[in-house]
Amino acid sequence: MIDINNILNANEALAGVIRETPVLSSENVNSEMGVNLYLKAECNQINGSFKSRGAYFAMHQYFQQNEKKDVVAFSSGNHAQAVAYSSLSSSINAKIIMPSNAPKIKIENTKNYKANVVLY
């Protein structure tokens, strides 16, 4: 069950770390489809994905109850960048395991967030 306090806590924890992104709508599309469609433009997020929200908040919640420790994650792209960014923002080290055929730009972006990238 979703707890409204978790949503409010997430908003507070993410403030200043994660960008506020716009909610978009198109009157033409809504009229054509007979709906009210809204799109959250997470492509405008720091690393182009909504995954920064989840990675940062999960780490934030864990660190509130436990000592800060290095993190390890496995991902070929957006989650890798999100964990690396969140680690950098939290002043901890991240080791990210990525497949060697991951997109080069995602590998480089993950490294640019100071993560230790291990290719397999």
Q: Active-site residue 40, yes or no? A: no
Q: Is 28 exposed, middle or buried (0-12, 13-18, 19+ CB in 10 A)?
A: exposed
Residue 108 tokens, joined: 């480089």
Query: Which residue is catalytic, options 26, 31, 40, 51?
Result: 51
In sequence order, what DSSP letters do the residues of 50-69 get, joined into one string?
THHHHHHHHHHHHHHHS---
Q: Active-site residue 95, yes or no? A: no
* DSSP category for residue 44: G
| Closest residue by Cα to residue 109 from 41, 49, 47 | 47
Query: Which residue is catalytic, options 52, 69, 76, 95?
Result: 76
Degrees (nearest 5) of the Cα angle 99, 103, 107?
70
Give residue for tokens 């990210």.
96
> What amino acid positions are annotated as catalytic residues?
51, 76
